[in-house]
């Protein structure tokens, strides 16, 4: 290791450093993305905002239990028919009552996007998206109601040019138009 450590001759050392700096002055190694004019198309397993499939969800509360920052709240929901048979009053037919169940709602101010909830769901009811750059205008927007939560978050800058990142031998990261 001592040959690495040997002090360089000041003259050649400075010249080499300056020459390298000059080389990069002429050919800069830029890997910056021109956001928001260009936005990235992220890999399919990227952990972005997610919503829930109301049809698939069985209201088991597993996601609420596993959530590390306790961002998920189960809200009570009453869905159509299919509940327990209510005891019928005398002389009338037995009717099926509405089913009481629960549905998850995520507080985006607390969520850390670890996707433990998405992975713990026994029926795989969560719908992940790659949207990650949503800005909330009001404090209330962090805490959607269940109806608002069902709508997947909208991607900002829809008209931006979509690019994918690519490893580049010359520049480290380069971008090419998304397929």
Partner 1 sequence: MSEKIFNIDDLQNINVEGEKYIILQIGPSHPGSGHMRIKVWLDGDIIVKVDPDIGFVHRTSEWLSERREWIKAIPIVERIMLPDTVHANLAYVLAVEKLLGIEPPPRAQYLRSLVAEINRITSHLYGIGIFGIFLGSSTVYMWAFGDREPFIDLMEMLTGARITTSYIIPGGVRWDIPNGFKERAETVLQYMERRLKDYEDIWVKNPVVQARTINVGVLKKEDAISLGVVGPNLRASGVYYDTRKHQPYAAYPNLDFEVPTMKNGDAYDRLLIRVEEIKQSIRMIRQILKDLPEGKIIADQIYNQLNPVMKKNYEEKKRVMFPAFMIHMRPPPGEATAKVEAGRGEIFFYIKSTGDKYPYRFRWVTPSFRNLPFFTHVAVGHRLADLPTIYGSIDYFPPEADR
| Interface with partner 1 (CB under 8 A) | 1-2, 4-5, 7-8, 10, 13-14, 16-17, 19-21, 24, 29, 31, 42-47, 62, 65-66, 68-69, 112-116, 119-124, 165-170, 172-173
- The minimum distance between CB 85 and partner 1, in angstroms, equals 28
- The minimum distance between CB 135 and partner 1, in angstroms, equals 19
Alpha-carbon distance of 160 to 157, in angstroms, equals 5
- The minimum distance between CB 22 and partner 1, in angstroms, equals 10
As given in the structure block, the two tokens for residue 46 are 């990227």
By C-beta, is 105 or 125 nearer to partner 1? 125
Pairing of strands 50-52, 126-128: antiparallel
As given in the structure block, the two tokens for residue 30 are 């830029």
Triad 120, 40, 164: Cα angle to 5°: 100
Number of helices (H), then strands (E), belonging to the chain: the values are 5, 9
By C-beta, is 71 or 105 nearer to partner 1? 71
User: What residues contact 117, with CB distance under 8 A and at least 6 apart?
Assistant: 62, 63, 64, 66, 67, 72, 104, 106, 126
Closest among 66, 97, 101 to 81, alpha carbons compared:
97
By C-beta, is 25 or 135 nearer to partner 1? 25
- The minimum distance between CB 176 and partner 1, in angstroms, equals 13
- The minimum distance between CB 132 and partner 1, in angstroms, equals 10
By C-beta, is 26 or 167 nearer to partner 1? 167
By C-beta, is 6 or 138 nearer to partner 1? 6
């Amino acid at each position: 290791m001592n040959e690495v450590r040997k002090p360089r001759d000041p003259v050649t050392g400075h010249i080499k450093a300056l020459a390298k700096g000059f080389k990069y002055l002429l050919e800069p190694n830029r890997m910056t993305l021109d956001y928001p004019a260009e936005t990235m198309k992220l890999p399919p397993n990227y952990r972005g905002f997610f919503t829930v499939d109301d049809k698939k969800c069985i209201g088991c509360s597993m996601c609420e239990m596993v959530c590390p920052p306790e961002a998920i709240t189960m809200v009570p929901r009453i869905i159509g028919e299919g509940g327990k048979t209510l005891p019928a009053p005398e002389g009338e037919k037995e009717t099926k009552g509405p089913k009481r169940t629960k549905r998850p709602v995520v507080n985006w101010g607390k969520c850390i996007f670890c996707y433990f909830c998405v992975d713990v769901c026994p029926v795989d009811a969560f719908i992940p998206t790659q949207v990650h750059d949503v800005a909330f205008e009001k404090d209330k927007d962090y805490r959607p109601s269940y109806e608002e939560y069902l709508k997947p978050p909208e991607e900002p800058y829809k008209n931006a040019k979509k690019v994918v990142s690519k490893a580049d031998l010359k520049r480290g990261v380069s971008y090419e138009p998304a397929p």
